[in-house]
Structure 1
């Protein structure tokens, strides 16, 4: 499983009708062409909720819609109050381990770190190498601040403890690539493998080795230049990882699932582009929640290779799909005992493999910060309330159509009780049908209201100063779990 951070819809070659040297993603393009493009793959509009959804098998509205600080803690609710995934929800790695898989995590976590139950090791991963927060410096690995500490706190973790002596040794994505390659080199091919690689690229801070920046020196906008260089860097990493699977003799029996965690950021300083979709990261327009996604690898049936599937798939659906491969029950008895929401995941393999022609998922509720703000149901989509990033870019961001040529899209549209779109006929969400299709609007409002009744958003707590105490005194300048 590869979950790419802040990857814009138009920042991959296979979504470009006309080739441009700004977008250089030959490995992603080849993998998609040899696999199956998932044209309506939905996620949350920001990082942590999507990761929580993927790992827990729940729609974001049933696990986490909070993208706050990883050091948040609610002492009154040790079951479900921490940032990220409640500790009494079963994460996919635990299920895969039950099925006999070796389990490894590399890269961004962003799904909770308050206790050792919340980090990858406590969630069923045999090994991990990555960071806990949204973003750290690609070279120093520092992020966040604690009183009395200059320059920030290191955020780099190796399975059971801080990754001492790894911080500051190179470009972080290179370190992650090398670790993925090491996992593959050390793996016994007779044992099934579940590898979750969540690159830092292309999240801020926008940093890339100089040789890659120079490849894109023809781009006059610095933000866009570095962003495109970072995506190209990751494309090379994916090519190297794919080759390692092939050299190990594992590719023919591998299913590689690739998805972005949200739409690309089109606000000032973001550098991404979701053209021709409306909006981007942090918004619930299609550009924020409908993302680049495909499956590839030798396990893809030959009859399905090169196809594009138009049915809805939610990122949480990979949970039940992976459980199907592992031969384990996807239901979550631990969560049921703790009276937490059950999984929403649907096994997508019959659809993806061509055994059936329609997706089992018809509804994708879309979470806002404090409510269910939208719903995709069949061909239609409803949004309510105020929705930001309400504009479109041109083929080259930041030449936007909303009068902000260098500052990104900062328009907010008030949908009130409902903006309605036929997203199959109008994927760019330009024609609001609310006034002309009153019956459909009412039907969608009623469906959305039903999901609203199930909205799960416990009190997550506040930033806990004890996290800094642990970082300084227990972990010698590194972030790590601080609640016993």
Structure 2
């Protein structure tokens, strides 16, 4: 192409008001970054109103993107919430309603192998995929991230980890196991949150194709560990536990800044869709963990493990400069399931059997209203723990103090203060009908994910041991035979 022709084309673009570099970015498949906090209280970041804890990087993403004011996860604690997020299917569809134990020898304790992660769908569409941080979906090779759609894994398989490297050892304590990098032991030499953030930045620096990065921080999940310099920054917080917790969130926010800088450095920020949310609400001092009092889920009631808003209504934002208008607030019902549906649709990948909704038509103004007319929850079906939420109401049952069977008008009472059970029988009937219809397509919790499985597993080992012990006791000890030839 001659220089004259190049100038002519460039002038034509300018006359038409078109920036060719922007058009090029928009035509490329976007990168997907999902940042998952762990046990983050609803009001413990700036964009939801915190004045105590400083989160400038998250606040910048929120202010320059969209805040989902009615953003939910599919479960009020760890593993099942992650199963829903990563498959894009409600975990009740395949009965994963308990945390998978750290059991490296158990080929059934984890995310069922027939369930496909949306990372695998993106991988099949040409994306390079990575998970950095907490896995918590099984420790047997069947469930290893590298076998579930992720090209790269750096982090830990159990449900948590200590934050400083000096506690790492080969032991039965899952929080002390060495980190892994693609199935091999890996070291870390500084505060874990910082290490994970830098590794995420390295992945971005060294990836030259569309990518999906799942950055699953264990912060601010217990144990409460943070660098002293950050703890000292929060002397204005009186409670010691909350002071450390605040420092953990501060470090996570700084780590998110490291990731954003890597995207800028590689000229990828404009064409990267970033989601940030928590796996569930912050810890609430229930009777079994009365000391865990450091998170702030206000204005919602209760927290982690509860189906009240404090357990499932989480800080939730999206940021994509090329597409999402800055300063947006979206009030429709949004689910963590929608992350998979949106990402897969943008990549033109396989969208079959996903429970979420592609959010982009709503964020671009092509569709109006709520992406979901109802959201559903189920915890261990045998215990009759469930919830359904529509744009106007919520009906739930959970045997926690002050909860029980509850009905709320979510338009006039979004903080669930006025229980209407028995006062609106037709509404209860309608919501129960919605939940019952949804539950017909679900699977009863398999034994392998439930407490009885663990009990029967232990009983099996006990029987096996007793059988071997009895055989050993009944067997006459052998004698050394001395013959003429051995003299």
What SS does the corresponding residue of 2:332 show, helix, strand or coil?
strand
Whether contact under 8 Å (1:144, 1:152) holds in the other structure is: no
Match of 1:119 among 136, 144, 147: 144
Displacement of 1:447 in angstroms is 1.9
1:72 shift after superposition = 8.0
Aligned to 2:454: 462
- Corresponding residue of 1:100: 126
253-262 or 311-320, larger mean C-alpha shift: 311-320
The aligned counterpart of 1:444 is 431
- 1:327 corresponds to which residue? 348
Q: Do the aligned partners of residues 223 and 435 (structure 1) sit closer, same or farther apart at CA in structure 2, a change above 3 Å counting?
A: same
1:67 alignment partner, one of 74, 80, 99? 99
Gaps of 5+ in 1: 332-341, 389-411, 466-484
The 1:345/1:234 distance shift into structure 2, 3 A limit, reads same
Q: Which residue of 2 aligns with 1:294?
A: 317
Q: 2:171, 2:177 within 8 Å by CA — same for their partners in 1?
A: no
The partner residue of 1:109 within 132, 135, 142 is 135
Structure 1 partner of 2:239: 221
Query: In the alignment, is the contact (CA less than 8 A) between 2:198 and 2:258 conserved in 1?
Result: no
In the TM superposition, residue 360 of structure 1 has moved relative to its aligned partner by 2.8
Q: Deviations over 1:422-472 (max 9, x none)?
A: 22321110011223211101111222223333332111142879xxxxxxx
1:62–1:367: structure 2 CA closer, same or farther, 3 Å change rule? same
Q: Distance in 2 between matches of 1:320 and 1:351?
A: 13
* Inter-partner Cα distance in structure 2 for 1:68 and 1:91: 17
1:174 equivalent in alignment to 2:194: yes
Could you tell me which residue of structure 1 aligns to residue 207 of structure 2?
187
Render the CA deviation track for 1:293-336: whole Å, top value 9, x for unaligned. Answer: 000132333xx3211111111111211211111111222xxxxx
The answer to whether residue 8 in structure 2 is matched with residue 8 in structure 1 is no
Q: C-alpha separation between the residues in 1 aligned to 2:176 and 2:265?
A: 38
Deviation at residue 343 of structure 1 after TM alignment: 3.2
Cα distance change, pair 144–445 in 1 and its aligned pair in 2 (3 A):
farther
* Structure 1 partner of 2:394: 381
Aligned residue in 2 for 1:399: none
In the other structure, the counterpart of 1:129 is 154
- Preserved CA contact (<8 Å) 2:134 2:155: yes
Is residue 281–residue 311 contact of structure 2 (8 Å, CA) maintained in 1?
yes
State how far apart, in whole Å, the 1-side matches of 2:339 and 2:397 are: 28
CA distance in 2, matches of 1:441, 1:143: 53
TM-superposition CA deviations, 1:331-379 (whole Å, max 9, x none): 2xxxxxxxxxx43222222113322112331121112233551111221
Task: Measure the CA separation in 2 of the matches of 1:245 and 1:276.
Answer: 34
Structure 1 equivalent of residue 402 of structure 2: 413
* Residue of structure 2 equivalent to 1:401: none
Q: Which one has the largest radius of gyration?
A: 2
TM-score, normalised to structure 2, is: 0.80
Deviates more, 1:449-458 or 1:309-318: 449-458
User: Which secondary structure does the structure 2 equivalent of 1:67 belong to?
Assistant: coil
How far apart, CA to CA, are the structure 2 residues paired with 1:55 and 1:215?
35
* 1:10-32 deviation line (CA, Å, top 9, x unaligned): 1011211xx62x22111111110
Q: What is the CA-CA distance between 1:414 and the residue it aligns to?
A: 4.7
> Any unmatched runs of 5+ in structure 2?
1-33, 286-290, 459-487
1:152/1:175 CA distance change after superposition, 3 Å: closer
How many pairs does the alignment contain?
410
Q: 1:181 to 1:355 in 2, by over 3 A?
A: same
| 8 A Cα contact 2:162 2:175, kept in partner | no
Which structure's residues are more often helix, by fraction? Answer: 2
Deviating 4+ runs (over 4 angstroms): 141-145, 150-153
**Residue correspondence of structure 1 range 267-278 to structure 2 within 5 A:** 267=285, 268-278=291-301
Instruction: Say whether residues 1:427 and 2:414 are aligned partners.
Output: yes
What secondary structure, in the 3-state scheme, does the structure 2 residue paired with 1:37 have? strand
Question: Could you give the per-residue CA deviations for residues 210-241 of structure 1, whole angstroms, max 9, x where no partner exists?
Answer: 11011012322111101111111111111121
- Please state if 1:26 is matched with 2:56: yes
Indicate how the Cα distance of structure 1 residues 144 and 350 shifts in structure 2: closer, same or farther if over 3 A, else same.
farther
CA-based RMSD: 2.3
Q: Judge which range, 322-331 or 137-146, deviates more.
A: 137-146
Aligned-partner Cα distance in 1 for 2:175–2:428 = 49
Measured after TM superposition, the shift of residue 420 of structure 1 is 0.8
User: 1:285 Cα deviation (Å)?
Assistant: 0.5
Partner of 1:364: 375
By how many angstroms is 1:109 displaced?
0.6
Report the Cα distance in structure 2 between the residues aligned to 1:346 and 1:250, rounded to whole angstroms.
25
SS in structure 1 at match of 2:70 = strand
**Which TM-score applies when normalising by structure 1?**
0.80
- Cα distance between partner residues in 2 of 1:263 and 1:144: 31
